[in-house]
Amino acid sequence: RLVAARRGSPLVIGVGIGEYFIASDVAALLPVTQHFIFLEEGDIADITINGVTIYDAGGNPVERKETISELSADAVERGEYRHYMLKEIFEQPRAIADTLEGRIYQGRVLEAAFGANATEVFDKIQGVHIIACGTSYHAGLIARYWMESLAGIPCSVEVASEFRYRKPVVRNSSLIVTISQSGETADTLAGLKEAKRLGFGQSLTICNVPESSLTRESDLVLMTRAGPEIGVASTKAFTTQLAALMLLTIVLGRRFALSEAMENQLVKQLSHLPKEIEDVLKLDDKIQRLAERFADKHNALFLGRGAQYPVAMEGALKLKEISYIHAEAYPAGELKHGPLALIDANMPVVVVAPNNE
């Protein structure tokens, strides 16, 4: 007999043939089953040889549906790659193609991809408020530039751990957007619940894990379909979040300043994205040589302007997470207001400067 209770963190029961498994993540159980029961907050599962009985937080027997995962055991194998993060970097073209698949038709983004009542919800929206943490927060910052500059939509972005502990003022005509790879990020989930308690409009989550807490708590859901991300530092989850956020920018922008011609242009650029990422990944050898050149540095500075500033922030975060090298990111225009004092012969500076405005 096994008793399992969910409190705070996710918990899933894998259902085999006359056997059951407990884990916090579907990916851990894919080698043994594709059938899962997701427990909700406060649930207690009593597992015996005869089956599973689930009780809610009040001790009442409840039914939790069994779902079949579309993922296979191959999705969590490392394959020919040295580590999972490298594998997931090279999976980005396929992951972004999956994010876009079935959501674009004849040069236009399908609003039904966000949910059956998405059009009704979007028609009432006068602004967007994004709540996220870490890498997902950086994705939200990039989306703010898109929403305001491309679509003319008022947009604010906030770290979830700050949002939940202050007294925010958000108009009820705002769309509350949460971003999370796992759908279980504690601060983001708490922020969404607080927004709902205060009556702050409708909610949408951009998430990678079906049946996660954020998908159940939100009015609308857009799955990124990135597949399991086992590496500690987010890679393909980040880029698929950006693809999903561009889809959101487009469908909301129709109601504001985005023309049909501009939508067609953006959709065309999105369709080329997987191939363009493949071209970047062909620079692997050159990137390896650069990494060896900078590996003995103890600090690094990342600079960017506009939408590239959050990209610089993400670059600095990755360097800290993976190499344990201290790194900071600044808006390029702020370099002269203090950070310039740090520049010397031993300080590498990474400037994110694409050929655009």
CA 263 to chain CA centroid, Å, is 23
Q: What is the pLDDT of residue 105?
A: 93
Sequential pLDDT tens for the chain (357 residues): 999 999 878 899 999 998 999 998 888 898 899 999 999 889 999 999 889 999 999 999 999 999 998 777 777 788 888 999 999 999 999 999 999 999 999 989 999 999 999 999 999 999 999 999 999 999 999 999 999 999 999 999 999 999 988 888 888 899 999 999 999 999 999 999 999 988 888 999 999 988 888 998 999 999 999 998 988 899 999 999 999 999 999 999 999 999 999 999 999 999 999 999 999 999 999 999 999 998 999 999 999 999 999 999 999 999 999 999 999 999 999 999 988 998 898 899 999 998 877
Topology (CATH) of 296-351: Rossmann fold (3.40.50)
Single pTM value for the model: 0.91
**And the tokens for 202?**
């409708």
* Distances 333 to 2, 77, 254, 329 between C-alpha atoms, Å: 59, 44, 32, 12
Average pLDDT, the chain: 93
CATH superfamily of 78-280: Glucose-6-phosphate isomerase like protein; domain 1 (3.40.50.10490)
Q: What is the pLDDT of residue 79?
A: 83
Q: What is the pLDDT of residue 58?
A: 92
Q: What is the pLDDT of residue 8?
A: 79
Q: What is the pLDDT of residue 146?
A: 96
Q: What is the pLDDT of residue 193?
A: 92
* Beta-sheet strand order (sheet of 66-68): 20-23, 12-15, 35-38, 66-68
**And the tokens for 68?**
């079949």
Please write the tens of the pLDDT for every residue from 66-119. Answer: 999 877 777 778 888 899 999 999 999 999 999 999 999 998 999 999 999 999
**Under DSSP, is residue 52 helix (H, G, I), strand (E, B) or coil?**
strand
What is the C-alpha separation between 242 and 28, in angstroms, rounded?
Answer: 26
Please write the tens of the pLDDT for every residue from 312-332. Answer: 999 999 999 999 999 999 999
* Distances 288 to 86, 291, 326 between C-alpha atoms, Å: 12, 5, 20
Q: What is the pLDDT of residue 249?
A: 97
Give ranges for CATH 3.40.50.10490 in the chain. 78-280, 296-351
Q: What is the pLDDT of residue 353?
A: 92
